[in-house]
Structure 1
Amino acid sequence: MLTRKQHELLRFIQIRLEESGISPSFEEMKEALDLKSKSGVHRLISALEERGFIRRLPNRARALEVLRQPEDATSKPARPAPANSNETLPSLAAPRYAPKPANDVIEIPLHGRIAAGVPIEALEGQSTLPVPAALLGSGEHYALEVSGDSMIEAGILDGDFALVKRTDTAHDGEIVVALVRGEEATLKYLRRENGMIRLDPANSAYEPQIYRSDEVEVQGKLAGLLRRYH
């Protein structure tokens, strides 16, 4: 059984998700439920999460998903009124979809620069890069800043940010982050040929790089690109 405030907050979150696909902010939830502080909202959300009614989507700002409704949802008349409005909220229906906030942003690790030409030293250090969630699929991701022009015919330019899905396997023809001899990293097409690994550029001015299979370790495959215009 939920408290009245927990029930009201759950209904408010679900209605906002159905209307816009975006979770309400803590300030909006505070105003809708007429609470004195955001700490009250935090407590309500934690209680709903512990009871399995909602979950927070990891590494995403303002991202909540309603997992289920209380059994007595249709019999509860109480509901929060929108701030600064005389309108009442519509009756709550069961969730129709998993929310995909249009402005959702994920912070992923930014490991440094990677060569799209001659391999450079393996990347060290880490900061983060904000990335629209729509550019990424499932799995763990990280970002690398591209250095060089060997992948320009694949549309990958110097200064782009390669968004990489972390994996140690890849199919022939996929663009991968390859760690060569444990100390050099490069972004190339992966090919297997006669027991060897061939790393192909996407620029006719460059030659393929051929290594023994034990000299190349796949550390991820390209999932997307982010480009800044100055």
Structure 2
Amino acid sequence: MLTRKQHELICFIADRLSETGVSPSFEEMKDALELKSKSGVHRLISALEERGFLRRLPNRARALEVVKMPERPEAKKKAAATAPVSTTGAKAPPAPANDVIEIPLHGRIAAGVPIEALEGATMLPVPAALLGSGEHYALEVSGDSMVEKGILDGDYALIRRTETARDGDIVVALIDDSEATLKTFYREGAMVRLDPANRSYDPQRYDSRQIRVQGKLAGLLRRY
């Protein structure tokens, strides 16, 4: 069973797809549901995905497909307008336009030996579909110690701000309040182990008081 807001959102998306063939932007969804921020829209979309009502089309930002519709009172009167867009026997609708969010780009981060984490005012445009809820920033990856996780030199690591981490999370770890690195996080009693994903590098161990988690990896952006 859907919540009222989930029900409103799926109906709004389905109506817009039926009318224009283009899914609404996150800003339009926020306004239509009278939400305070786009993060609320992201949470609703994720919930609808989990319940099998929506699907995000891969490699395209803001491309939503209605998989099925919940029952609604006006369904009989508006059946033609609210029916899910069929993907068989009909011409596919135009691809939805990109919904892009700008997030701060805070310099380079080491995926090797820790280097200084640079702060800057540059903004990086990122497809909204790559980000979940919460506040995000980006760091340019320098080094090759995370290549076995698919994180390459020159990639942009998209980081969700958080000060906590669980074993196995890929985190931005600030060491002695001066150097930052991107590694897989593990606790070992009073110590913290930062694991690379490259057999050429050894794990790094620190007293837990030396380490502050600055965020967790949420996605990657790569330019070709």
TM-score (norm 2): 0.63
The equivalent residue for 1:22 is 23
Query: Identity of counterpart residues, as a percentage?
Result: 66
The equivalent residue for 1:117 is 112
Deviations 1:120-148, CA, capped at 9 Å, x for gaps: 11221121111111111111111110000
* CA–CA distance in structure 2, aligned partners of residues 91 and 54 of structure 1: 26
The equivalent residue for 1:201 is 196
* CA–CA distance in structure 1, aligned partners of residues 160 and 190 of structure 2: 25
* CA–CA distance in structure 2, aligned partners of residues 56 and 104 of structure 1: 18
**Structure 1, unaligned runs of 5 or more:** 1-11, 25-44, 63-72, 74-89, 94-100
The equivalent residue for 1:176 is 171
CA contact (8 A) 1:123 1:185 kept: no
Shift of residue 106, structure 1, vs aligned partner: 1.0
Q: 124-133 vs 152-161, which deviates more? A: 124-133
**Number of residues of Structure 1 aligned to a counterpart in Structure 2:** 169
Shift of residue 104, structure 1, vs aligned partner: 1.2
* Poorly superposed stretches of 4+, deviation over 2 Å: 12-24, 52-60, 90-93
Deviations 1:189-220, CA, capped at 9 Å, x for gaps: 00111310011100111111110001000000
Amino acid at match of 1:187: L
Shift of residue 16, structure 1, vs aligned partner: 3.2
* CA–CA distance in structure 2, aligned partners of residues 165 and 221 of structure 1: 5
> Structure 2 matches for 1:58-137, cutoff 5 A?
58=38, 103-137=98-132
* CA–CA distance in structure 2, aligned partners of residues 106 and 123 of structure 1: 21
Selected match of 1:146 from 141, 147, 162: 141
Q: 1:55 to 1:171 in 2, by over 3 A?
A: closer
TM-score (norm 1): 0.61
SS at match of 1:123: coil
Selected match of 1:164 from 143, 159, 162: 159
* CA–CA distance in structure 1, aligned partners of residues 13 and 198 of structure 2: 50
Shift of residue 54, structure 1, vs aligned partner: 4.7
Q: 1:92 to 1:125 in 2, by over 3 A?
A: same
* CA–CA distance in structure 1, aligned partners of residues 167 and 142 of structure 2: 23
CA contact (8 A) 2:104 2:122 kept: yes
Which structure: larger Rg?
Answer: 1
